[in-house]
Every structure is written in structure tokens, then in C-alpha cells.
Amino acid sequence: MMDLLDLLHQTMSSPWVYLAIFAIAVLDGFFPVVPSETAVITAGVFAASGAPDLPVVILVAAAGALVGDHVSYAIGRGGGARLLARLPAGGRRRRAVDRARRGIATRGGLILTVARYVPGGRTAVTLTMGAVHFPRRRFLAFDALAAGSWALYSALVGYLGGLAFEQDPLRGLLLGLGLALTVTVLVEAARWARQRRSHRPAAAHQL
């Protein structure tokens, strides 16, 4: 355990950590198995002890997320319509894309921002926005807000955990990850409840 803690301290105190956070955030934009939120939360935890620098962590995480989302948008715009059509009917990814497609026309900016906090949702939304040719300038404006708020939230969640357990950063990391998981669960629960409410009038109308 001490070896792991020493490794984390060495990694987080290295100036290369900012490049690593940027790269992970970029990759997570179009390859969602890369844990960018975990990386930013971890950096936030150790920032409570002085290294890395919290504002820089927020800046590079937001910049990386913005770049990654634009890569995903470009993929969707270049050939996403064909790729989305090939997704298996009834699959989890297909359902996520269908939900994104229906809402983008009326609530594109809000959906893009909220999708930042839904596992896998961000990539589905950005790909779909590209595939349906959502205006690039509007996408940039909304995504800058989404990426910035996500980076700020993730880093501060970790930072609060680091402050709470300044002498035990591993516990601080667990607290930060627990808080992030709680927020994700609440977002998913709210989205599920909203979908239930929207389905009830449709079902009643059919009767």
C-alpha cells in the first residue's frame, strides 16, 4: 500500500501529469473506456497537498475534454450516420443514441452538458450531434460550458476529499470517487424518473 501511495505521489508531483490528464481527457471523448473522471479526481485529491496545481488541472482537463468531444463530433459528422445505423437494434448503445437523437433538436445544449455526467452518454451525444450536423459553432459554445463545468466539478470533488483526509490521500480518493458516483446515480435516477413521466401520457393516450 505504501508503494502505491509513493507511486501516486511521484506521479502527481511530476510536471508530466498535466500532459497525462490532457491526453486521458482527449481519449475519453471518443473512447469512453478511458477513466478521465477518475484521473481528474485523483489529481484533485493530491492538489489538496500542494501538487499538482488545482487551477492547471482544471484547465488541462477542460481543454482535453473539449478536444476529445470535437474528435467524436468530427467522427460523427464524417461517417457517423452509417456507423450509428449499424448499431444492434435494442442494444444499450443504440438506445443511448436514439435518446440523444430525439432530444438534440430541442435541447441540444442541455443534453450535451448533462451527458457529461452519464457514463457513455457523452460519446453517444457528441457522435449523434455530428451525425445530424448540429451547427458546429453552437456545439463549440455548449461543449465549452460542458467541458469546463465537468473539469471544475471533478477536480473540486477530489480536492474536497483531499482536504478531508489530508494525511491519508487514499481515503480522500475513495471519498471523492464516492461523491462522484453519488452524483452519477442521482443524475441517472432523475433521467429515469423523467422518462417514466413522459411515457405515462403517451400510454394513456393510446388507451
Query: Mean of the per-residue pLDDT values for the chain?
Result: 81
Condensed to tens digits (0 to 9), the pLDDT of residues 53-70 reads: 999 999 999 999 999 999
DSSP string, 129-175: HHHTT--HHHHHHHHHHHHHHHHHHHHHHHHHHHHHTTT-HHHHHHH
Give the number of other Cβ atoms within 10 Å of residue 66's Cβ. Answer: 20
DSSP string, 68-89: HHHHHHHHIIIIIHHHHHTSPT
Q: What angle do CA 110, 115, 117 make, to 5 degrees?
A: 120
**For the chain (length 207 residues), average pLDDT per consecutive 10?**
65 88 93 86 89 94 96 86 69 71 77 81 86 88 94 92 79 76 71 64 48
From CA 180, how far away is CA 75, in angstroms rounded? 29
Using the structure block, give the residue that is written with the C-alpha cell 460550458.
145
Residues with Cβ within 8 Å of 89's Cβ and at least 6 positions away in sequence, in order, are: none
Q: Which residue from 69, 98, 70 is spatially nearest to 85, judged by alpha carbons?
A: 98
Copy the grid coordinates of residue 63: 481543454
DSSP three-state, residue 132: coil
Residue 108 is which amino acid?
Answer: G
Predicted TM-score (pTM) of the model is: 0.79
DSSP three-state, residue 197: helix
